[in-house]
Structure 1
């Protein structure tokens, strides 16, 4: 095992190199680089198994470096060093294929734990890549010529997009077109089985690109062994079709779960911060690392009303409770529910209740 450490702070870089017993974890070689650009040059020659890199660096940052090294070695294990303020960048790096991130200042025990998991992942990926696949037959070679390969490749990209959206019918329709292509060009059973591994790769990449782990689908099974057991083309077709259906269902379930969690957090932020006059759709969206447009659509879908209406109604309900106390002045109640302008508060309150705050207080008292 070889590890490359990249950080523009010399004390951090050298501290990590010298202060940790890398040989204890199985590393024979440790190299360092001071920025992303020089790291890329070292990477090409050094060929590390693990890349430990800071996010913020001159010339080429950690996100750009992650993208570039993934082109050179798709199964490289990238671990990010992230300051607390860089958390959203660390999340973006995970979406780009990074393995994990460690918050600065670095806790040595946490670092060792994540690196050890990274080693296990690297070994697992190397093992998967070394599995023996039967030799291509002569009649299949034409498929790999550019003119034959463009059409199925384009369909694979369309299939990936449908899977990422969780659109089962669209995904199956695209898969059927690919299968028709195989039948029309009379590809052999061995070749179609080998394409099954390509299908698994498409699915795995699609799942990772939407921020999910593919382990849940393939951790306990070896797809190649499963495909090899299938005795007929009909059964191969059913296996592939079923795999696509299961994955689309999984994507929809995880998206539904994530959406509920996003809305739960959004509601929590409203309930905890309604007194803040600057609370808005944009501020909540920024806190959740999603776009205001997406949050607005999601909020209306999950809650039934739009964000601003919910916030207004919530503030008015809180104001009603405060108005029960005759010692509180109207402007004080307004400020406690997020309105510095008493007249605007009265207008909003009346639009919801039909009464001004003063009328409402007189009525309930």
Structure 2
């Protein structure tokens, strides 16, 4: 049975749709939930996604367009259909951008909805068959991944990325071109092989720089979905964007120096101990070097003092902890070794321009928009 949610701020409209004699075994569709606005719908969809979302456009708090965008980006509904009046079709362009499936004009007529349900059913079944075929093709190609990319080749790219070396970008571009040529420029096959290769690179980077998951949501980088692209250039652009972003993160935290390998050692130590009490003293003891030597060479090579670097790293970790929403501000302060919560809040604001609470509020606004 296909699951349906109906969203409209007018109860009479929701009731009218629910009373239509189309729900159940006859069509294979069942209304499992309803909501009176987009915010309530989004809350419920995050807990139970549906196959078909039928929603009004003009609603308080979160409107139909915003709900469509969230449903599309977070895979909360396979098909989204707008309930609209003729005067509302000026929303069409933005709706198409976020993958609207169809429209129903109020009040909903039984015959029109019946036709729509059949279209939705056909679409979902065809989509499922396509996914089955794609999985079979993927399994077949995965058996041959070593043919395309020996482990040593992928390891060299991992090394470039981990060192913040832009040679990784040139190499990944060549990888895309070589793969496409080897597979006769078949987009789907090329996407499958490259996605597997990219995931191997990502695993390699995480193995070498385990700290990275403490500062960014690594799932963002794992979600490439290359099979969604329709041409080789788009696949290449996506992979390059991903690697550039990863390199940017690594070079932000690991301050490489052409003159002294000690800089990297200091950075790695700080990253690995971000939730401990760290200072130039603890670093000097760990590396068996004097504080003066460490302080002088670090400042000379990076332009930052060791203390400034430690603060930067701790605040970046704090930002990630705030974003995750698991801990309160005082718990984050304690977790990062700050016994004085007010001092931590001032330090956070000095470095971000916002208090931890303001930062969290801004993140929520960004998520909604």
TM-score with structure 1 length normalisation?
A: 0.42
TM-score normalised by structure 2 residue count = 0.41
